[in-house]
Amino acid sequence: MSDLTLSPPARRALVLRHPSVLVFLAILALFTLGVTLLSEGMGAGVISTSFIKTLGKTLCFCLVALAMDLVWGYCGILSLGHMAFFGLGGYAIGMWLMYERTRQIVADSLAAAELPPTAQEISDGIASQIFGVVGASEFPPIWSLAHSLPLQLAAVVVVPGLLALVFGWLAFRSRVTGVYLSILTQAMTLALSLYLFQNDSGLRGNNGLSGLQNLPGLDHVPQAWVSLWFFWASALALGAGYLFCAWLVSGKFSSVVRAIRDDEARVRFLGYPVEAFKLVVFTLTAILAGIAGALYYPQAGIINPAEVAPIASIYLAVWVAIGGRGRLYGAVIGAAFVSLLSTWFTGGQAPDLVLGPLRIQWVDWWTVLLGLSFVAVTLFAPKGIGGLVDLIGRIKNPDRHGADLGPDAGALREREADQ
C-alpha cells in the first residue's frame, strides 16, 4: 500500500502499482508447477494424492481467507458467517455431484430390469438412494435444479450471494455495528447449521452429502489425476481471486471502504451511502467464499452441517488475524500456515513433547496451543505474520497522536474508542 500513498498515483497497470500482486502470483505459479511435477499423477510420486488434496483444500482456505480479509480487515465487519457461505457453496455443488452420480448408478441398475425404466422410476430410485438415510424417498423442492450442472454452478454464486444480500440488508439498515454485528452474524450461522442438522431440511440432516470426490462419468480417471485437476482449479481460483481483490482495494473504492471501517458516521456525512458499500463488500465476499467452498468440498469428499457451525467461521477469523489483516497476502499466509500446521499436528505426525513425566500428545493439545497462541498474537503481534514484511521493508506506521485507529487496532471506530 505504501507505494500508493507516498507517490502520486499514476495510471499504470494494477500489477505495476502493486508489486506484491506480481510477487504473489509468481510464487503461486511456481508452487503449482512444483507440486504438479512432484505429484503421483505425473509419476514422480514424491507428493501423495492425499497430500495434493490437502494442498488443494488449503488453497481454497486461502481464497475464503481473502474474502474474510476484505470484509474484516478492509471494511471492519468482523463477520462470523463466511464459513457458512463457504459451506453453502459446497452444498450447491455437492447436490449436483451426488445427484448425477446416483443417477448413473440407478440408471445402470435399472437398465437390467425387464421393462425399460421410466423417468419417474429413475427419479424415485435416486431419491430413495439419496434420502433413504433420513427416512424419506421423495425429492425435496430445493433439489429441483440438482440435475443441471450449470444451474447448480449458478447456485454456488447465487445462494450465498442472496443470503448475504438479505441478511446484510437487514443488519446494515438497522445500523448494527461492531460486536453486535459479529454476534448477529454468528447467530445467522448457527441458525443455518441448526437448520441443516434437521433431517427434513432436504439436505440429509447430519449425514450431509458424501462421495463428492467421485466425479460423475469419470470413474475411470484415477483420483491422482482428479486431485491434480482440482488443485489446478483451486490455484487458478486463488490467483484470480487475489487479482480481483487487489483490484477492488486499489482505488477510491478501497479508500471509502477503509474510511467506513475507521469512521462510518463521517463517511455518511461525506454523502456516501455506507450501507450500500457494506452490502456490496459483504455480498461480494460471500460469493467469493461460496466459490471457494464449491472447490473445497469435492476435494474433501463430504460436507455436513458441522462444517457450517459457527466455530468454523471463528477459525477463519483466527487465520486472518494470525496472518495479518488489512493486507491481502497476510490472509493467504495465515490461512495456509495455520491450516497446514493444524493438519500436521492433528494428523498425529507431530512428535510428542516430553516434559519430564508429562507426555504431551499434540493430537490432544494442539487446539490448546492454537487458542493460546491466538491470544498471544492479538496481544503482542496485532499485525500478525504479515507484520514481518513491514519489519523487513522498514515501513513505519504514522504517529496517530494517541488516536488508536486503523486495521492493526482491530478496525475500531472512534466512537467505540471514546467509551
Partner 1 sequence: MSKTIKRLIFCLAVMFAAPALAQDAEAPIQKLLQEHGDVIAKSSRKTIGPAIDALAASGLPAAQRVLERWQAKEMWRDEESGLFVFAEEIDRDTIRVFDPADGAQIGAVPDKGFKQLKPNSGIRGMIGAALVQFQLGDPDPVTRATALDAIERDPEASHLAALRKVVDSEGDPKLKARKARLERLLTIRFDEDDAARIEAIEGFAGDPAVDVRATLNPLVATRVEFAETAPQGDDIARILKPGDAALPRTEAYALLVKDGIAPPILTRSDKRTALIDNIRDGAVGGYRVAQLDTEANRDAAYAGLVEAGIASAAASEAEIDATLAGYVFFERFTGARPTVARSALAALKDIETKVGLNRAADLVLDALSLASIYFLAAIGLAITFGVMGVINMAHGEFIMMGAYTGYVVQQIIPDYTISILIAIPLAFAVTFGAGVAMERLVIRWLRHRPLETLLATFGISVALQQIAKNIFGTQARPLTSPAWLDGSLVLNDIVSISYIRIAIFVLALLFLGLFLFVMNRTRIGLEVRSVTQNPRMAGSMGINPDRINMLTFGLGSGIAGIAGVAIGLYAKVTSEMGQDYIVQSFMTVVVGGVGNIWGTLVGATLVGTMQKGIEWFNPSNTLAAQTYMILFIILFIQVRPRGIIALKGRAAEA
Partner 2 sequence: MTTLLEVSGVSVSFDGFRAINNLSFQIAEGELRAVIGPNGAGKTTFMDIVTGKTRPDEGRVTFGEKSVSLLSLSESRIAQLGVGRKFQRPTVFEDQSVADNLMMALKKDRNPFAVLLFRPRSADLDRVAELAGEIGLSGALYRKAGELSHGQKQWLEIGMLLAQEPRLLLVDEPAAGMTLAEREHTTDLLKEAARTRAVVVVEHDMEFVRRLDCKVTVLHEGSVLAEGSLDHVTGNEDVIEVYLGR
CA–CA distance, 134 with 206 (Å, rounded to integer): 9
| Interaction between residue 88 and partner 1 (CB under 8 A) | no
Q: Which helix (H) or strand (E) holds 298?
A: helix 274-300
Question: Whose Cβ is closer to partner 2: residue 368's or residue 403's?
Answer: 403
Q: Which cell is 199 given?
A: 433431517
Query: Taking CB under 8 A as the criterion, which residues in 32-71 touch partner 2?
Result: none
Among 265, 353, 372, 417, binds partner 2 (CB under 8 A): 265
Q: How far is the CB of 206 from partner 1 (least distance, A)?
A: 10
| Interaction between residue 114 and partner 1 (CB under 8 A) | yes
Q: Around Cβ 97, how many Cβ atoms within 10 Å?
A: 24
| Interaction between residue 9 and partner 2 (CB under 8 A) | yes
Question: Reduced to 3 states, what is the DSSP secondary structure of residue 11?
Answer: coil
Q: Quick check: 279 and 189 in contact, CB under 8 A? A: no
Q: Around Cβ 45, how many Cβ atoms within 10 Å?
A: 12
Span from 95-103, 333-341, 372-380, 394-402 in contact with partner 2 (CB under 8 A)? 394-402
Q: Quick check: 63 and 237 in contact, CB under 8 A? A: yes
Scanning 174-222, the segments in alpha helix (DSSP H) are 178-197
Question: Whose Cβ is closer to partner 2: residue 212's or residue 248's?
Answer: 248
Cα dihedral 152→156→161→162 (10° resolution) = 30
CA–CA distance, 102 with 62 (Å, rounded to integer): 31
Binding map of partner 2 across residues 190-229, x = CB under 8 A, - = no contact: ----------------------------------------
| Interaction between residue 266 and partner 2 (CB under 8 A) | yes
Which partner from the list partner 2, partner 1, none does 312 bind, CB cut-off 5 to 8 Å by kind? none
| Interaction between residue 258 and partner 2 (CB under 8 A) | yes
Question: Whose Cβ is closer to partner 1: residue 133's or residue 417's?
Answer: 417
Q: Quick check: 75 and 279 in contact, CB under 8 A? A: no
Q: Quick check: 290 and 157 in contact, CB under 8 A? A: yes
| Interaction between residue 169 and partner 2 (CB under 8 A) | no
Among 191, 276, 368, 395, binds partner 2 (CB under 8 A): 276
Question: Reduced to 3 states, what is the DSSP secondary structure of residue 303?
Answer: strand
Residue pointed to by grid coordinates 474508542: 417
Binding map of partner 1 across residues 117-156, x = CB under 8 A, - = no contact: xxxx------------------------------------
Residue 209's identity, in one-letter code, is L
Q: What are phi and psi of 275, to 5 degrees?
A: -60, -40
Among 137, 144, 180, 348, binds partner 1 (CB under 8 A): 180
Q: What are phi and psi of 411, to 5 degrees?
A: 50, 60
What are the residues binding partner 2 (CB under 8 A)?
A: 5-9, 11, 248, 251-253, 255-256, 258-259, 262-263, 265-266, 268-274, 276-277, 280, 398-401, 403, 405-407, 414
What are the residues binding partner 1 (CB under 8 A)?
A: 78, 114-120, 167, 170-171, 173-176, 178-180, 182-184, 186-188, 190-191, 194-195, 197-198, 200, 310-311, 314, 317-318, 321, 364-365, 367-368, 370-375, 378-379, 382, 404, 409-412, 416-419
